[in-house]
């Protein structure tokens, strides 16, 4: 998905870390989302929990949009024209609906519930995303992963994976990246990551062993979930710093609760993120924007989209300024 804000926030993100917390119980900070309209008068609104002032990264996860359930007859659904990406991977995960993906590698694929579509931008890629005519309710998450310096100019790539669900202790778990509860995703990543959908039955509790070197974020889609001793409500994201050896999730409602668990090693490189680009300097961003505006071969072309590509917003008038994760206590 593109960040189609007309005045996207410029960010310089760094992974400065504090002294290690003792291993053991989780401490949870709750991040609340902000609403961001994507598009014109019938814009689909997404709820963005990353990045924000309180936190810019969870591991290498640098962007999290949560949308729906949206009645596409009212919102118009998703129609994101061809747009570029650099220095990142996009992770598409749906709960309901269907999205048609086209990219400049020639891939024509569909994003469906319970199936991972992961696109690597690297040095440059472009793609379009459109909800299909079969879609009546559109509901899911769009996530970005920052690529480390060693791999940020890597070749374009596209991977698809449909994880088998694991039933465990009143929960259904789908591990789409990394490993959890004995399940391992075969999808390659450039930094250690975890991504999983976890659905809890009414009043169910689940304790999961996790890597204490990881920081974690639990995005609640529906229901109210107690993460350790902290209640995380719908559309909120509960952040757990490194040190926790296990996470306990408890559904506090009489209906199912659906969550997405993200995790990764703290990403300590400083990055600059603006619009759909991730670089290491203001100059990296300016060059990527110039290449896109000039239809450079860097991004290729998307075939089959019935319309024009997106143009990049104007750059800010000042050099992009630093913004960092807060220190861990």
pLDDT one-digit tens code per residue, 139-188: 999 999 999 999 999 999 999 999 999 998 899 999 999 999 999 999 99
**Given a cut of 50, is residue 301 above it in pLDDT?**
yes
pLDDT bin (cut points 50, 70, 90) of residue 5 is low
Tell me how far apart the alpha carbons of residues 26 and 219 are, in angstroms, rounded to a whole number.
16
**pLDDT value at residue 263:** 98
**pLDDT value at residue 17:** 37
**pLDDT value at residue 227:** 97
Tell me how far apart the alpha carbons of residues 195 and 139 are, in angstroms, rounded to a whole number.
17
pTM: predicted TM-score of the whole model, two decimal places: 0.91
Tell me how far apart the alpha carbons of residues 84 and 277 are, in angstroms, rounded to a whole number.
8
Q: Which domains does the chain have, with CATH numbers?
A: 11-324 (2.60.120.10)
Average pLDDT score over residue span 193-222 = 98
134 exposed, middle or buried (CB, 10 Å; 0-12, 13-18, 19+)?
Answer: exposed
**pLDDT value at residue 274:** 94
First to last CA, the chain: 34
Which is more confident, 244 or 44? 244
- Sign of the alpha-carbon dihedral angle for 129, 7, 190, 210: negative
pLDDT bin (cut points 50, 70, 90) of residue 12 is very low
| Closest of 194, 248, 207, 209 to residue 226, by C-alpha | 248
Query: Could you give the dihedral angle defined by the CA atoms of residues 295, 298, 303 and 307, in that order, rounded to the nearest 10 degrees?
Result: -30
**pLDDT value at residue 37:** 84
**Is 116 within 8 Å of 93 (Cβ atoms)?**
yes
pLDDT one-digit tens code per residue, 91-112: 999 999 999 999 999 999 999 9
């Amino acid at each position: 998905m593109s960040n189609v804000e007309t005045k996207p926030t410029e960010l310089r993100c760094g992974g400065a870390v504090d002294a290690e917390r003792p291993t053991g119980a989780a401490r949870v900070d709750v991040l609340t989302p902000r609403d961001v309209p994507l598009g014109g008068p019938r814009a689909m609104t997404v709820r963005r929990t990353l990045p924000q002032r309180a936190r810019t990264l969870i591991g290498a996860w640098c962007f999290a949009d949560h949308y729906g359930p949206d009645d596409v007859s009212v919102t118009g659904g998703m129609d994101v024209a061809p747009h570029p990406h650099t220095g990142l991977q996009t992770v598409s995960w749906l709960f309901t609906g269907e999205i048609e993906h086209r990219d400049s590698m020639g891939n024509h694929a569909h994003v469906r519930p319970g199936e991972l579509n992961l696109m690597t931008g690297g040095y440059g890629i472009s793609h379009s995303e459109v909800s299909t005519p079969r879609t009546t309710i559109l509901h899911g998450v769009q996530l970005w992963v920052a690529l480390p310096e060693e791999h940020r100019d890597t070749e374009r790539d596209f991977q698809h994976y449909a994880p088998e669900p694991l039933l465990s202790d009143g929960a259904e778990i789908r591990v789409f990246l990394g490993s959890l509860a004995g399940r391992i995703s075969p999808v390659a990543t450039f930094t250690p990551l975890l991504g999983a959908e976890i659905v809890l039955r009414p009043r169910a509790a689940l304790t999961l062993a996790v890597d204490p070197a990881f920081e974690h974020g639990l995005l609640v889609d529906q229901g109210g979930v107690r993460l350790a001793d902290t209640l995380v409500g719908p559309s909120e994201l509960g952040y757990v710093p490194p040190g926790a050896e296990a996470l306990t999730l408890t559904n506090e409602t009489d209906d199912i609760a659906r969550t997405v668990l993200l995790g990764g090693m703290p990403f300590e490189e400083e990055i600059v993120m603006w619009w759909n680009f991730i670089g290491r300097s203001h100059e990296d961003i300016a060059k990527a924007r110039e290449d896109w505006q000039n239809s450079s071969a860097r991004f290729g072309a998307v075939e089959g989209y019935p319309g024009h590509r997106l143009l990049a917003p104007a750059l800010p008038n000042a050099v992009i300024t630093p913004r960092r994760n807060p220190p861990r206590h």
